[in-house]
Structure 1
């Protein structure tokens, strides 16, 4: 998706390029067709930002003296509030409370603003459900379903909480001085197997033991990368860059995704905006702030392994929604691809 488009040397139909033999099947320098399941060079560079950010933040937490010497609570998964080495090391910081904690609200807003404001998807600021808008919405629903299942609800407790309990975690309440506190502890002991992390916190307990996947890392990567992958084709097209994504066709051949773009658009001329537009700018803003908060999470919260598993789970979900359909025509017919 990063090659600069050369002077057109093929015929066009009302401004849309006609597929040529060079667009049908593409190969790597070794002669083998490029796998449709793998990201392009630009997508690889963008996705590499996430593990790089986690590594940078984790190294900072080790090398910075103030952070290294500040008391860390495994129960809080953060530095103790009274000894927090930075404003961003406090869970009460404004960006954590009003951005990360309700992150899917901002991600959803940026997504739908782009969806209904960018002319490559349909008439701007008009509630017309074009095929591209419908499939983009289905991709959003698929990613949202993953976010919901892991962090909110999955036929009961979310998957992250189930995994925490499966690895030996539980909700504990310290005995108090009063009979009411002791009764509360007894109730928690009987019901701890059905409590979520949120319910445990509300009940005054602590989530202890087990492996707790970093929900912050998961949502920050999943949401911002979804926005990146959705807006990237529009940005590249406005920049005059050639399509480099590959798809597997029904006959098993690997071809440029531009072939399916042409088949979808036919003789219709899809306008190329001269500027990115408010939707792309909003998505970039949310993605940029997400990267900053991911860096702060890496520096001040969770263990290395908790952050690593958050990254892996987010990447797995993104691959299923955005890369698997490129090699599976039946799935691509439902979810489509951004810009196609």
Structure 2
């Protein structure tokens, strides 16, 4: 008993504080006992971040119902928006500058922000150098996987994209419409050749309208998918720069569940990942922030509740598959890796 007391008395206070410090390997491992026990769940901070998306959709949708101006302005299901001549807000116009030059070409902005971060942040490799390190390669593979799904859902999937295929499968078709009133006085000419148009874009070019089926909100899909991808890529570096601990858990090949920090440590337990923000992180934050604003505007002025919900559901499914499944499946993690490790 006296030996144990003498040992405890001889341990310097500074050593104890270092052991419990989040910046030290041992302290970090001890503090990670508070991390989620399963690799399949997002961390507390990730949960807050991801919860912003459904909250934004609900907030915008409630605004469209509770705001008297928006509620009393007729909504056209064909246009999927308020008619331009009576739009309740500048952001309710499809021609608003943010919709035309940001959302419509959203994946260009997302791609630019991703590669700027990828090749300017020292956690992925030498800054401003085209060196393909292992971390950069895995980040590009994640980007490619997400982009492939974006393309399949909105652009091309061995023919019409998934959104258009879903619209057709739920009873939708292209209808040639002649009207002087964009809301009420539709006179439809349901031509047999128009019904054979299988994509929204081709229907629009033919002077028709996409009607009758369920149309997943492409705006909601791309705004959530792109910004969430950027957030999850830069989040480990933002947290590390703030001195916060690594809470993500991963399943190892032997079945053990450990903190993701083990994959950034050398044999001595030292972490060799730079702590910085940098230009790439700041630009990604700006793009993600503007995406959030346009998501709120989309929720307030465009699409139905169900269309917005399905856009959200598809986007979240992709994000979970690329950024959370690898934590629980070592084989997938060996291919896709994880941001920040």
Q: Deviations over 1:50-83 (max 9, x none)?
A: 0011011001000111100111100111001111
Structure with max Cα Rg: 2
Q: Hey, what does 1:9 align to over in structure 2?
A: 19
Q: Does 1:188 align with 2:194?
A: yes
CA distance in 2, matches of 1:242, 1:78: 44
Contact 1:220 1:290 in 2 (8 A): yes
Q: Hey, what does 2:106 align to over in structure 1?
A: 103
Q: Hey, what does 2:306 align to over in structure 1?
A: 305
Q: Hey, what does 2:182 align to over in structure 1?
A: none
Cα gap change, 1:111/1:120 in structure 2, threshold over 3 Å: closer, same or farther? same
Q: Hey, what does 1:289 align to over in structure 2?
A: 290
CA distance in 2, matches of 1:7, 1:162: 60
The alpha-carbon deviation at position 263 of structure 1 amounts to: 5.1
The alpha-carbon deviation at position 25 of structure 1 amounts to: 11
Q: Does 1:280 align with 2:281?
A: yes
2:86 to 69, 83, 88: 83
Contact 2:251 2:329 in 1 (8 A): yes
- Give the TM-score taking structure 1 as reference length: 0.87
The alpha-carbon deviation at position 240 of structure 1 amounts to: 1.1
Q: Deviations over 1:245-299 (max 9, x none)?
A: 00000111110000112159987843323xx211011000000000000000000
Query: After the TM superposition, which parts of structure 1 deviate over 6 Å for at least 4 consecutive aligned residues?
Result: 264-268
Describe the SS at the equivalent of 1:77: coil
CA distance in 2, matches of 1:278, 1:21: 31
Q: Does 1:217 align with 2:220?
A: yes
Describe the SS at the equivalent of 1:168: coil
Q: Does 1:161 align with 2:164?
A: yes
Q: Does 1:244 align with 2:250?
A: no
Structure 2: give runs of 5+ residues left out of the alignment. Answer: 1-15, 180-187
CA distance in 2, matches of 1:87, 1:230: 33
Cα gap change, 1:332/1:206 in structure 2, threshold over 3 Å: closer, same or farther? same
Q: Does 1:324 align with 2:325?
A: yes
Contact 2:119 2:125 in 1 (8 A): yes
Q: Does 1:69 align with 2:79?
A: no
Q: Deviations over 1:114-138 (max 9, x none)?
A: 0011111111101111111000000
1:41 to 38, 44, 52: 44
Q: Highest relative contact order (Cα 8 Å, sep 6+), 1 or 2?
A: 1
Structure 1: give runs of 5+ residues left out of the alignment. Answer: 1-5, 11-15, 177-181
1:56 to 51, 59, 62: 59
The alpha-carbon deviation at position 9 of structure 1 amounts to: 2.5
Counting matched residue pairs gives 317
- Give the TM-score taking structure 2 as reference length: 0.87
Q: Hey, what does 2:9 align to over in structure 1?
A: none
Contact 1:150 1:158 in 2 (8 A): yes
Q: Hey, what does 2:13 align to over in structure 1?
A: none
Cα gap change, 1:235/1:268 in structure 2, threshold over 3 Å: closer, same or farther? closer
State how 1:13-32 maps to structure 2 within 5 Å. 23=29
State how 1:233-272 maps to structure 2 within 5 Å. 233-262=236-265, 269-272=272-275
Contact 1:26 1:254 in 2 (8 A): no
Contact 1:36 1:245 in 2 (8 A): yes
Cα gap change, 1:106/1:133 in structure 2, threshold over 3 Å: closer, same or farther? same
CA distance in 2, matches of 1:131, 1:78: 45
Contact 2:92 2:302 in 1 (8 A): yes
Contact 1:23 1:259 in 2 (8 A): no
